[in-house]
């Protein structure tokens, strides 16, 4: 499987992982702001964008290991939404040697459970999975609409996401199914105490997919986390790019000064 990683900028290494059905180009507003201060490694997840498919795709450990082999050691890892699960998995693997972890609108568990009210109903992802084989593009656009729901700038964000979503080509159906399976099944809550590096959780106050309470809870589990909440929906790096970039810069500077 070929893994596409675009690189730009100068400074400490920062790995960026996008969300479901997207590609690394979705980070364009953030890339422009961070490139003067970081060496960015913009990854297209397996089966997304310019990256090839993975026969054993529904496995965050496999994805994380494959990406870790393609990026520098001692980098800071940043993940948005589904990419956050992969980045968190990478940070939990000592062989990755991650220096820091930034999670944007991501959760250690995306689906609700009797002991976890901070997620969405399983049926939400099941419906998207069924729709992939019926109305492929419509299903992705419905997911984009869900991502922008609640944002003060929902219409403009949705237009931006729709413009960018297929810029690196269309993701493979198998990869989309695998990604949904990960969102439905992965639960890393119990392992958060294993995090040994600093971690920053950036939440959107109006996010309808990942409640800020999920990220606030996750940030305190290891004693090394920070939590920031912005007046955004599920994609704060689009609507509040300056604030997100500033939070990342301050976080990285704290690591450098430690």
Enumerate the domain spans of the chain.
5-257
- Taking the C-alpha atoms of residue 93 and residue 142, their distance in angstroms, rounded to an integer, is 34
The structure tokens listed for 51 are 């990256």
Among the listed residues 231, 178, 167, the one whose alpha carbon sits nearest the alpha carbon of residue 204: 231
Strand partners, 46: none
Structural contact between residues 60 and 86, judged by C-beta atoms closer than 8 angstroms:
yes
Alpha helices in 75-211 (DSSP H): 82-92, 122-131, 136-148, 154-164, 173-185
Per-residue confidence (pLDDT) for residue 137, from 0 to 100: 73
Per-residue confidence (pLDDT) for residue 226, from 0 to 100: 97
- Name the stretches of the chain with pLDDT < 50: none
Per-residue confidence (pLDDT) for residue 151, from 0 to 100: 65
pTM of the model: 0.92
- Taking the C-alpha atoms of residue 28 and residue 130, their distance in angstroms, rounded to an integer, is 30
The structure tokens listed for 160 are 């931006």
Among the listed residues 59, 58, 63, 73, the one whose alpha carbon sits nearest the alpha carbon of residue 15: 73
Using the structure block, give the residue that is written with the tokens 């704060």: 236
DSSP states along 71-92:
S-TT-EEEEETHHHHHHHHHHH
Per-residue confidence (pLDDT) for residue 172, from 0 to 100: 82
Fold (topology level) of 5-257: Rossmann fold (3.40.50)
Per-residue confidence (pLDDT) for residue 21, from 0 to 100: 85
**Residues assigned a catalytic role:** 81, 207, 234
């Amino acid at each position: 499987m070929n893994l596409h990683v675009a690189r730009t900028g100068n400074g400490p290494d920062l790995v960026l992982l996008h969300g479901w059905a997207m590609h690394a180009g979705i980070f364009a507003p953030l890339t422009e702001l961070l490139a003067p201060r970081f060496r960015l490694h913009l990854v297209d997840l397996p089966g997304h964008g310019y990256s090839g498919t993975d026969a054993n795709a529904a496995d965050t450990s496999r994805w994380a290991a494959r990406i870790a082999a393609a990026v520098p050691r001692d980098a800071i890892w940043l993940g948005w939404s589904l990419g956050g699960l992969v980045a968190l998995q990478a940070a939990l693997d000592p062989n990755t040697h991650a220096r820091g972890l930034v999670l944007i609108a991501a959760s250690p568990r995306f689906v609700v459970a009797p002991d976890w009210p901070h997620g969405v109903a399983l049926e939400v992802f099941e419906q998207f999975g069924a729709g992939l084989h019926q109305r492929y593009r419509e299903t992705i656009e419905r997911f984009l609409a869900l991502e922008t729901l609640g944002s003060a700038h929902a219409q403009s964000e949705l237009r931006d996401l729709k413009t960018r979503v297929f810029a690196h080509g269309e993701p493979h159906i198998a990869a989309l199914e695998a990604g949904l399976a990960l969102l439905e099944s992965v639960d890393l809550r119990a392992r958060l105490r294993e995090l040994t590096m600093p971690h920053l959780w950036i939440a959107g106050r109006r996010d309808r997919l990942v409640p800020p309470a999920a990220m606030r809870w996750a940030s305190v589990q290891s004693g090394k986390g920070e939590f920031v909440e912005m007046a955004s929906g599920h994609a704060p790096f689009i609507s509040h790019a300056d604030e997100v970039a500033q939070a990342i810069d301050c976080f990285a500077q704290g690591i450098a000064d430690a």
